[in-house]
Structure 1
Amino acid sequence: MMKSYHFSCPKCNNNHSFYRYGKDPDGYQKYLCRNCHHQFAPERPRAEGANCRRNYPSCPVCGKASFLHHDYEHYSNYRCCDKRCNHSFFAWKSTAISSPSLSQLFGKHDFKRMRYPVQLIITALSMFYLGKNSFRNISLILRTAFNVKVSHTTISNWCTNFAPLFDDMRIRLMPLLDLNSDEWHADETVVKIAGVKHYIWFVVDSETRFVIGFHLSPHRDSPQAVSVLHEAQKHGKPAAIVSDRYSAYKVPVKSLFDGVKHIRVESFKDDISNNLIECFNKQFKAWYKTKQGFSSYASANNLISMFVFFFNFIRPHSALDGMTPAQVAGLKLSKKQKREFLLVA
C-alpha cells in the first residue's frame, strides 16, 4: 500500500513518494521528493512574504518572467527564464538615477516687478545667447541704439535669473514636438566652474538638431549618462543612438532604450560619425569662451539651460533652411503664441 503524506512537494505536487533527508540548520525535518528530487522542510514556518513573487521585470522580448543574473552597484542584469528566448537585459536601480541638473534651476518664473519693459529684456537676452556679446557690450548697445541706460550687472542678473521662466516655456512646448527620429547623438564636453573641471552631457536629435537634454556634473561616469538619457527618454525614442567609444554609454543605452541600436563610433572614417554633436559642441564652446568660465555651479546651470532654450526655439539655423530646430520638429505657432511663449521680442 502506497504511503500518503499530509503535505506535497511544492515543486511537482507529489504527495506520496519521499525520502527523509535529514534536518535543516534549525532542526526541522527535510524531505527529498523522489519524482523531482526537490528538497524541502514542510514543517518549517514560512517567512512573511516568502510566497510572494519577486518583483523582477518581465522580459521585453517575449514578456515572460526573468531572473537576476548579476547584481551590480548601480544596475542589475536580468535574463529571461525561457531558455529558448534567453534574452539578457539591464535595469538601473532607482537610487542610481539622479535628477538632471535641469531640475535644479533657480530664479524668477515671471516678469513681475521689473523696472524695464519685457521687450528690452528679451532683446538683451537675445544679444547675449545668440551672439558673443559681453554684458558690458550689451549695456553699451542698449544705451547707444535705444537710449536706455542699463548696467551690466542688471543684464547679468537677467541672463541668469530668468532660467526657470524659460524652462516653464520649454515644458509647455515639448509635447508639441516630434523627436522620434532615426538617430540621437550623445556626447560630453568639459567646462570650468570656479577653475574646476565639470562635464556637460548633451543629447541631440540628428534630423532636427534639437538639443533633447543636457546634464551638468562634476563627474564623468555611467550614472551621469543615465541622468541625461533618462530625461531624454521622456521625449521620444530613436532608432539608434550614436556615441563615441566611451564605455559610460554602453549600459545606460541598453537599459533605458531596449531594442534601440547603439552605434559606437570608432574613427572619423566610419560611415556614421558623431560630427553632428561635435559641431554643436563647437558652437557651445564659441559662446562659452567669451564667458571665461563660470563662477558657480548654480549660475552655470542656469546659463547653459538658457543657451539651450535659445538654440532650440529662437536661433535660426542655416542648415535647416533658416528654421529653428523646434520648427523642424513640428512646432507651429501663430504670432500671438510666439509672443506668449517669449519667442519674439
Structure 2
Amino acid sequence: MNSIITYLMLYNQYLLKQISQLLLLIAKHIPLKQWAFDDSHSPEYQKFKVDKLPKIFIPETVDYQLLLAYYQHKYGKTVKPIKHKSDNPIYETIVCPRCGAPHQYLYKNNGSKGQYLCKVCNERFNETNIFNRPLSLRCPYCGHILVPKKDRKHFRIHKCTNTKCSYYRQNLSKLPKDVKPSDKHKYKLHYIYREFTIDFFKMDLHALPKQAVSFNFKKFNAHIMGLCLTYHVNLKLSTRQTAHALEEVHGIKVSHTMVANYAMSAAAVIKPFTDTFDYKPANILSADETYIKVKGIKHYVWIIMDACKKSILGYQVSDTRAVGPCILAMRMAFEKFKTFPGKALKFIADGYSAYPLASQQCKLEKGWDFDVTQVIGLTNDDAVSTEFRWVKQVVERLNRTFKSSYRVTCGYGSEDGALYGVSLWVAYYNFLRPHPYNYWKPLNALDALKDAENMPAKWQILIYLGQKTILNMQQTRVV
C-alpha cells in the first residue's frame, strides 16, 4: 500500500514538472496578446476607435500676499513692483486671476497681443484664462486644454489642437507617404473626447406605459385576444392575415385594426414584466444592432443577449445609430445582474465604435468596469475572432429569427408601435417560444404557465403577470 502511494506521489511530481515546462514553452513562443485585426491598426480605422478619458484640471487659487511673505521668509528678499513705461501702461482693473496680484506686479508678456505674466505666481493669462472657468479638460498625452469644436445631438466634441502632442505625432507618422497635405483631414489624427450633454443613466427604463388599459371587453373576451396574439406573434401572421384566419377558422369577425390595438395594449402591459424579470444571466453577453423600417424610414434595433442561456436581456429601438440607445440597452442588460461581474464579464460585439464609447460612459457614470471584445470581419483571421466567433454568431442567428417575424409586418407605423412590437416579440422569445437549446421548452420557465392548456391562455397569464408588475411599480412609487 505504501509503495502505491509513493509511486502516485512521484508520478504527480512528474506531471507538475511537465506542466511547468509546457507553460514555459507557451510563454516563450506563443504571444499571449495578439492584435485583434491587423487592418484595425491602419490609420483608416483610427476614426472608429474611442480615445481614453481626458484629464480634468481644477484650478486652485492662491493669495499673492501669502506668496510675498513666503518669498521674504525663504529668500530674505522682497518681490518689488514693476516700473511700467508710460507709453505702455497696464490698467488698474487688471489683476492676476490666480493669486489676485494687482497691476503693479504684471507684465505685458507678448506686447499688445493680450497676454500677461504675473511676477508673483508666474501665471500667464488673458481674458479667457482657465482660472475664470470652474474646470477644464486636458489632453491625457500632452496636457493641452481641449477646445470644443462641434455640437452633436447628444454630445459635444472636444479636440486637442496641439500639433506637438505625442498622440498627434504618432498618428501622423502612420499615414501613408503618398498622402497629400490637403487630404490629412480625412484621417483622425488629434485626440478627441465626446462630452455627453444628456445623462442616459437617469432616464427611466421602466416608465409605466400610456397604452395600458383595463381590458374591459365590450364585444369580445380575453380568449379572443389570446387567439389574436397567438396568430400574430407565434405564427408570424400580419394583422390582416390574423383577422382573416380568425374568421375562416373560428368564425370570429375581428378587424385588423382591433388586432393591432390588442397587440399594442398587451405589449404595453407585458413589457414591465419582461424588463424586470430575474433572468440570472451568465457572464458572456453578445450585442448587435439590426435595422427595421418605420413609415418607410430606416430605424435600428439594439439587442443584447445572454450568449449561454440565450435570453434577451436588453433591447432598444432608435431612429439613429448613435451611442445613446446603445447605452440604454446596456443599462437594461446590466441591471439584470444582482452583482455586476466587472472584468469577469465578456461583452462581445462587432467593430462599431458605439460599444467601446458606451462602455466608457458606463464606467464613468456607474462604475461598471468591463472590456468590450470586438469581433471584426466575417472570417477567423485572428485569435480574437477564432475564440469569440461563436458568441457573435449567436446574436446573428437571433437577428435572423427576429427578421423572419418582422418581414410580414411590412414595417411599423410609428416609433411607439415599433418599440412595443419588439417588446412583444421579446416576451414571446423569452417565455413562450420552444427552443432546441432547452429541449424544445421555453428559455425561462414560469410556474404560472404550467397549468395553461393552450397558447391563448399563456398570453392571458403573461398579461396578468404584467398587470401585477405595473401595480407593484405604482405602489413602490407612491411609497
Aligned to 2:279: 177
Residues 231-283 of structure 1: per-residue CA shift (max 9 Å, x gap): 33322346111111111212112331543121100233222121111111101
Distance 1:94 1:323, change over 3 A: farther
CA–CA distance in 2 between the matches of 1:220 and 1:118?
38
In structure 2, the gaps of 5 or more residues are 1-62, 83-89, 96-100, 107-118, 124-131, 138-142, 159-192, 453-457, 466-479
SS at match of 2:444: helix
CA–CA distance in 2 between the matches of 1:333 and 1:326?
12
Aligned to 2:333: 232
Aligned to 1:262: 372
Check conservation: 1:105, 1:301, Cα contact below 8 A.
no
Residues 153-184 of structure 1: per-residue CA shift (max 9 Å, x gap): 2112211233221123325x52x3312x2211
TM-score between both structures, scaled by the size of structure 2: 0.52
The one-letter amino acid paired with 1:229 is: M
Aligned to 1:282: 400
Aligned with 1:300 (options 409, 418, 432): 418
Check conservation: 2:288, 2:349, Cα contact below 8 A.
yes
Comparing both structures, which one devotes a greater share of its residues to strand? Answer: 1
Deviates more, 1:316-325 or 1:102-111: 102-111
Distance 1:314 1:109, change over 3 A: farther
SS at match of 2:321: coil
Distance 1:298 1:187, change over 3 A: same
SS at match of 1:294: coil
Aligned with 2:293 (options 174, 192, 205): 192
CA–CA distance in 2 between the matches of 1:309 and 1:38?
69
CA–CA distance in 1 between the matches of 2:239 and 2:422?
16
CA–CA distance in 1 between the matches of 2:64 and 2:374?
60
The one-letter amino acid paired with 2:94 is: D
Distance 1:6 1:69, change over 3 A: closer
RMSD value, Cα: 4.2
SS at match of 2:290: strand
In structure 1, the gaps of 5 or more residues are 32-36, 42-49, 57-66, 78-89
Check conservation: 1:201, 1:225, Cα contact below 8 A.
yes
Distance 1:6 1:154, change over 3 A: closer
Distance 1:26 1:279, change over 3 A: same
CA–CA distance in 2 between the matches of 1:20 and 1:131?
90
Determine if the alignment matches structure 1 residue 93 to structure 2 residue 196.
yes
Aligned to 2:317: 216
Residues 109-134 of structure 1: per-residue CA shift (max 9 Å, x gap): 43234532212212321221122212
Distance 1:266 1:19, change over 3 A: same
SS at match of 1:157: helix
CA–CA distance in 2 between the matches of 1:309 and 1:111?
19
Determine if the alignment matches structure 1 residue 157 to structure 2 residue 261.
yes
Distance 1:19 1:150, change over 3 A: same
Aligned with 1:16 (options 53, 59, 73): 73
**Aligned counterparts, 1:34-73, within 5 A:** 39=121
Distance 1:298 1:265, change over 3 A: same
Comparing both structures, which one devotes a greater share of its residues to helix? Answer: 2
Q: Percent same amino acid at aligned positions?
A: 18
Deviates more, 1:269-278 or 1:90-99: 90-99
Q: Which structure would you say has the larger Rg?
A: 2
CA–CA distance in 2 between the matches of 1:122 and 1:68?
63
Determine if the alignment matches structure 1 residue 127 to structure 2 residue 248.
no
Aligned to 2:7: none
Distance 1:70 1:231, change over 3 A: farther
Check conservation: 2:279, 2:311, Cα contact below 8 A.
no
Check conservation: 1:202, 1:215, Cα contact below 8 A.
yes
The one-letter amino acid paired with 1:231 is: M
Check conservation: 2:269, 2:463, Cα contact below 8 A.
no
Distance 1:208 1:227, change over 3 A: same
After TM superposition, give the deviation of residue 195 of structure 1 in Å: 1.5
After TM superposition, give the deviation of residue 104 of structure 1 in Å: 9.2
Check conservation: 2:449, 2:461, Cα contact below 8 A.
no
After TM superposition, give the deviation of residue 284 of structure 1 in Å: 0.8
Check conservation: 1:100, 1:227, Cα contact below 8 A.
no
CA–CA distance in 1 between the matches of 2:427 and 2:394?
18
Distance 1:216 1:26, change over 3 A: same
CA–CA distance in 1 between the matches of 2:145 and 2:439?
50
Aligned with 1:319 (options 437, 454, 457): 437
